[in-house]
A and B are shown apart, each in its own frame.
Chain A
Amino acid sequence: MGKKKRGHPDVEELLARPWCYYCERDFEDLKLLISHQKAKHFKCDRCGKRLNTAGGLSVHMNQVHKESLNSVENALPNRQGLDIEIFGMEGVPEDIVQQHNQRIITNFYTAQAERHAATGNPPPGQSGGQGPAKKIKIESSNEIKKRLAEHRAKVAAQKAAAANGTAIPSPVDGQSPGQGASPFPPPQTGFPYPPPGAAGAPPFPPAQAYAPPFPSGPSPPPGAPGAFNLPARPPTNTAPASNLPQRPPYFYNGSGAPPSGYPGNASTVDELVASAARQGDDIDQMIRMAEAGIKPAGKNGAAEEAGGEKKTKKDKEKNMRMVYADTEISPEEKMALLSRYSYIPQE
């Protein structure tokens, strides 16, 4: 214990991060989350006013623009409702909180397993003993991102293949090492970890496997000893589509996320989140930078550090585009020069 030299936050830290109900993004602190919500979800598209809540925006649209608001902008498909009043982390339904935490935990352990597999290091508390320890390979964040991208591409390719009906049982080795090679079960599953690529694992009873998506009540964590007496589903995405029944989409009830193996599903959620956030807001960009602790390079740095709340005046001037920009000659003078309006004195 004690040492936190690795750059990876632990689960508690991850779970403590405030996150946005509408788009599942998480933030360094509550202030950033609130400014994100005001900028992305509670901003009036007619006049740019930033309101505090969806209800506030709805009232604003009604009173100021005589229009009605139907959905929250930039929200995930099943979270656009105006009926829930969200402000920062307040008002998020308990079941959604559970789902979110579950996703964080799962992602965390997946990432951890991947790391362990990649470095060859045993997780803390367990001594290795399978051969000489590998040299610690320190990856830069870019490399990690690259690998993540590769992983996602693979998942996507598999999904595509599955969709085409050509279920390709992919070789275990081809998988992200975290899936196939890690001998350590993710702690949250109380079940023995089935052999990797266990195509021969007892098939799920179809009736249960095709159970409808969870109702909006608190959802059990994946693989938890829940209502079904099922063996733990191998948390790999190697599950050949031909053999194992598909699990219903787990996180987004009724969102129609493509059925796929579990990590694949998680990455779908990530993709959803990413796509929701993709319309690169510059505020978002700044928040992201603030989160990453990156000081924006150069001139405007000081102001933007403030957390994306305020840009300097200069910065704004730079960004503005004037429809008419001649500061010496008026539009009328220019119009007067046009042949259709020109006047030739009769002299």
Chain B
Amino acid sequence: MAPATQFEVAQPPNDAISALVFAPDAPNRLLVSSWDKNVYLYEVVDGAEEANLVKTYEHRAPVLDVCFGANQGEAFTAGLDRLVKRIDLVTGEQTILSKHNEAVRCVVYSPKQSILISASWDSTLHIHSTDPSSSQQHLTIQLPGKPHALAASPSKVVVAMTARLVHIYDLPTIATALASSSAATISPWQQRESSLKFLTRAVSCMPNDAGYATSSIEGRVAVEWFEDTAESQARKYAFKCHRQALPDDEGGGDIVYPVNALAFHPVHGTFASGGGDGTVALWDAEAKRRMRQYQKFPDSVAAVGFSSNGKYLAIGVCPGFETGMENYSGEGRTKLFIRELSETEAKGKGSK
């Protein structure tokens, strides 16, 4: 069994990390988007405990999200410049796909349907077809609130918004609507209220298409299932995490950190959460157990991601934005860690 090792990437982004993602078809390729207006492409070297910076892609404004496209040569970004862009990772060529009226918060790509969905603070989703043969521009879906997190499973897209709204869209339906270019026919497959009382921070879908997990600013994670039967809905649960008990001479109670990041393990179906307390925990969604909690990182965990083969766990660390901060800067304190997991490290025991 390969030992679990962890190392720090030598050339991290210069400012806070907004998102990180491994390529679906290349387990060693990692994209990181940063508030320093750049997107970084890294290549993890197997067995060498290092990751090389391959290329950076500069934007005109801080980049809030990044995702891979159909293969490791293509990526999409969302940023404060209100643009949704396609980036050719080989040539560095950037193409504008659409323009929102406000900053674009998230992008997500569905390889099965060749659809790119972007979510913006102008309370819209833009649906783009990435099929080059399609001349179709994009469809706009109006949302009832500002989106804060977006995640796709093989057949569903989950949009988490303000006011605890969660809309789930069916991807095949979207694809059909896109083909006939009628945005009017797209309505949410399900409309839910978040199980969490506070602002949703992150969403991640189970790789087996069964459900998703959400996290909130109030140190809590909820696990829910898509299937809309009473039985399935009764299975949903939420739990507290990423909290720190205060010493009693300070009045006791807990310091509650936001859970900034969630990522499901592509093979084992367990998931990792990263919180403002600087820890990353691995959870077994089936058995409702915490499997592991790693040693504290020096700052808040902003993003986590598993490689497509589940071998690596990337952890983006930078100061967390906390209430009342007026001169926030992630400069100098932004770090990127890669953890090489041992074979059984992220494997759940299954429900009993």
Give me the interface of A with B, judged by CB distance under 8 Å: 47-48, 64-66, 279-282, 316, 318-336, 338, 340-343, 345
Contacts and interface: CB of A to CB of B under 8 A. Distances in A.
A318 B253 CA distance: 8
Contacts of B69: none
Contact of B199 (A47, A282, A328): A328
B35 A335 contact: yes
Contacts of A322: 217-219, 256, 258, 323
A51 to B, nearest CB: 15
B61 A343 contact: yes
A14 B205 CA distance: 60
Given A47-B293, A323-B276, A343-B61, A332 B105 contact: yes
B35 A323 contact: no
Contacts of A316: 253-254
26 contacts: A47-B293, A48-B245, A65-B293, A279-B249, A316-B253, A319-B246, A320-B243, A320-B255, A320-B256, A321-B254, A322-B218, A322-B219, A322-B323, A323-B256, A323-B258, A323-B276, A323-B320, A323-B322, A325-B323, A328-B163, A328-B199, A332-B18, A333-B121, A334-B325, A343-B60, A343-B82
Interface of B: 16, 18, 35, 60-62, 64, 79-82, 103, 105, 121, 146, 148, 162-163, 198-199, 201, 217-219, 243, 245-249, 251-258, 276, 293, 295, 320-323, 325-329
A318 B16 CA distance: 31
A323 B301 CA distance: 14
Contact of B80 (A65, A279, A281, A336): A336
Nearest to A335: B321
Nearest to B61: A343
Contact of A324 (B35, B276, B295): B276
Nearest to B164: A327
B60 A281 contact: no
A281 B198 CA distance: 29
B328 A335 contact: yes
B320 A336 contact: no
Given A327-B217, A341-B80, 7 more contacts: A280-B248, A280-B249, A318-B253, A319-B251, A332-B148, A334-B321, A338-B326
A345 B322 contact: no
